[in-house]
Amino acid sequence: MNALQEEEVKAYQKDGYIIVRNLFTIEEINLLGQTARADNEMDQASTKRDDGEGNAVRLALWNHPGDGIYGMFARSKRLVDRVEQLLDDEAYHYHSKMVLKDAKVGGAWAWHQDYGYWYQNGVLTPNLCSVMIAVDQATVENGCMQVIKGSHKLGRVNHVLSGDQAGADMERVEEAKKRLDLVHVTMDPGDALFFHSNTLHASDANESDHPRWAMICCYNAASNDPYKDSHHPRYTKLEKVEDERILAVGRDHANRSQTEFADLHREDTSAKSLTENQNS
């Protein structure tokens, strides 16, 4: 069943996040992890974001979900149907990214709201939802995500640049932490964290011997279509796929040497060129 329970929806509305345990099977997650770690194009195209403390977080980002295993996760009814419940609207793919927080060297993420960034892209309301899928186990030691429970009700907080990252106004963050609970979101592979675009979240550096990779799929409500073009797409119909496509595509991809990220990069480049031609 691809529906959230009523109490899960209410918890999301109250707290700004929910965790769905075991949303994906171990085989599905293993195929995702194997593909990502063997994806040389993703490794080479990943960017580093300095955390202001001399450490760097690596991430690889793409706008269009594609037909490979990354796309099967992002387009799966298991995921998208739940997102649409939380948005109370049709969802479209805003972008996805792989966070590559490696052992000993993975830096921290400053406290921020996703809408603190996306507001600048012409998105009028914060009716967006992100889903973090744990590829590796996420623990306090390896820098799991932290959220401030109920902080989505604060509205959009001002963000300022720290290192290579834009972080939320720390005066407000510290006051929020005095009144609201800070939660360390520990996860096992296959667990999924659904969180509101105004939920304050952060993560510490990974000082453990274990990597913490995660895939984050971000969705916007169709009715929240941005009023201007940006580096993330405006409304684009999302073609959902049946859940079993994850294993079918993942197993097939495991037998091929072609990297998936290269295909995604070409698709993003083609889409960007099309937009530029339309606007010229």
Residue carrying structure tokens 């994906």: 24
CATH topology of domain 6-279: Jelly Rolls (2.60.120)
d(CA 238, CA 89): 13
pLDDT at 271: 43
Contact 181, 214 (CB under 8 A): no
Counting residues of the chain whose pLDDT is more than 90, the rounded percentage is: 73
pLDDT at 179: 98
pLDDT at 273: 34
Q: pLDDT digits over 92-149, tens only?
A: 999 999 999 888 776 788 899 999 999 999 999 999 999 999 999 999 999 999 999 9
| pTM of structure | 0.90
pLDDT at 51: 59
> In angstroms, what is the C-alpha Rg of the chain?
18
Q: pLDDT digits over 162-172, tens only?
A: 656 678 999 99
d(CA 212, CA 170): 26
pLDDT at 115: 96
Q: What residue ranges of the chain have pLDDT lower than 50?
A: 270-280
